[in-house]
Structure formats: C-alpha cells, structure tokens
C-alpha cells in the first residue's frame, strides 16, 4: 500500500454525503472522520490486503475498481467487485482480527479513504448515532453477498449472466472477462458464448 495521509474535506465530502443519506452525520462525526480516516491509493494490479494478512482497513473507494478473490488449486475465484463509494474489506478479518483468506486487488488505479478497526469502534462509542450508519453499511454489504451467493448457486450460465447484468451492470465494461467468469463460476469460453447469444438477441 502507498503512503497514507489525512483526507481533505473535498476528498471526504462524497462519503459524508453517502453517510448523510443513511442518517444525519453531524459536525462531531465529520470532524472525527477527518482526523481519523486516511487517504491512500493503489496502482492497477496492487493490493489492499493479501491472503494471510490481517485486514485492518474498512475502505471506501473514491476512484477506480477493486476485486476480492481467493485462490484454489492454482486458480483465482473472484468473490466481489467494488467501485466508487462502495465499501471494500475482508469483513471477518476486520472484525475478528484473524488472517484473511481473500485478496483485495486494484483492477484500475484506485484512490480510497479508510478507517481502522480501533478508530471505527471509538467512533461508535463516542457518537452512538453513527451505529445507525454502520448498520446501513453492513446491510448493503450483506445484500451484495446474498445476490452473489444466489448467482453462484444457479446452474444455467445464461441466467447467471443475466442476473450479473441486472445486479452488477456498472462493472460489465470495467472488469475483464476472466474476472467476470470466475465471479459467475463459469469458464471464459462459456461466458463468451453467453455474451454472444445476448448480443445477437439485442440485434433482433
């Protein structure tokens, strides 16, 4: 990871607006986040965290796309994508302080703001209303996980891709096909056939 520094108010503003859409942030929380969050960036191909490390960052992407993946039998299995103003972390490692099984990699050059576990817990204690925002963030995180779990349980490759476009269309033109195929649990050849069929249907 590159050098960390405090975020500017301009860099934090879109995140504050997101939080405010869940529950009023207030000046106290805003000032706390400005002092206790940090800004950093990762070049394309770099990592936020690797397998075996403890993930102590709850990060919000401000520019770019990241993906989470695990490695099995020498192959990468993509588990999640994140884009601007979405939350990225390996949640079990962040909460339990245990080594993560996942990797989080930058698919594009990425910028992000993040907070450590200790700072987040102090925020919850000092400003109890922020617990509402935390709950809303975790709800969105698990809704994403539920959608992905549903897709992977389907057998029909065309239905998998159809739901990918329905749920995660913002990634369709930003993620290379090998990552999408592993996210869907199909081969790149199958994905190519499915995409060709979908394209042909659109032209009719």
Residues 104, 182 within the same domain? no
- Which residues form the domain of 201? 155-204
The rounded mean pLDDT for the chain is 94
Q: Does residue 1 sit within a domain?
A: no
Q: What are phi and psi of 82, to 5 degrees?
A: -135, 140
The C-alpha angle with vertex 4 and arms to 7 and 112, in degrees rounded to 5, equals: 60
The residue from 117, 134, 153 where one domain ends is 153
pLDDT digits (tens, 9 = 90+) for 79-109: 999 999 899 999 999 999 999 999 999 999 9
Q: Does residue 4 sit within a domain?
A: no
The model's pTM: 0.91
pLDDT digits (tens, 9 = 90+) for 48-63: 999 999 999 999 999 9
Segment 104-118 shows an average pLDDT of 97
């Amino acid at each position: 990871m590159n050098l960390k520094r405090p975020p500017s108010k301009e860099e934090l503003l879109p995140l504050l607006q997101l939080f405010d859409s869940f529950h009023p942030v207030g000046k106290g929380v805003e000032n706390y986040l400005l002092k206790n969050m940090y800004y950093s960036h990762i070049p394309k191909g770099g990592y936020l965290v690797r397998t075996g490390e403890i993930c102590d960052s709850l990060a919000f992407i401000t520019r770019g796309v990241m993906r989470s993946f695990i490695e099995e039998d020498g192959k990468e299995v993509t588990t999640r994508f994140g884009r601007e103003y979405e939350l990225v972390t390996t949640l079990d490692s962040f909460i339990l302080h245990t080594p993560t099984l996942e990797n989080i990699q930058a698919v594009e050059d990425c910028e992000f703001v993040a907070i450590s576990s200790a700072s987040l817990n102090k925020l919850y204690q000092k400003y109890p209303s922020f617990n509402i925002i935390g709950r809303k963030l975790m709800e969105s995180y698990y809704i994403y996980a539920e959608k992905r779990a549903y897709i992977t349980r389907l057998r029909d490759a065309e239905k998998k891709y159809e739901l990918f476009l329905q749920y995660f269309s913002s990634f369709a033109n930003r993620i290379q096909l090998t990552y999408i195929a592993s996210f869907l649990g199909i081969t790149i050849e199958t994905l190519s056939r499915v995409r060709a069929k979908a394209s042909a249907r659109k032209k009719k």
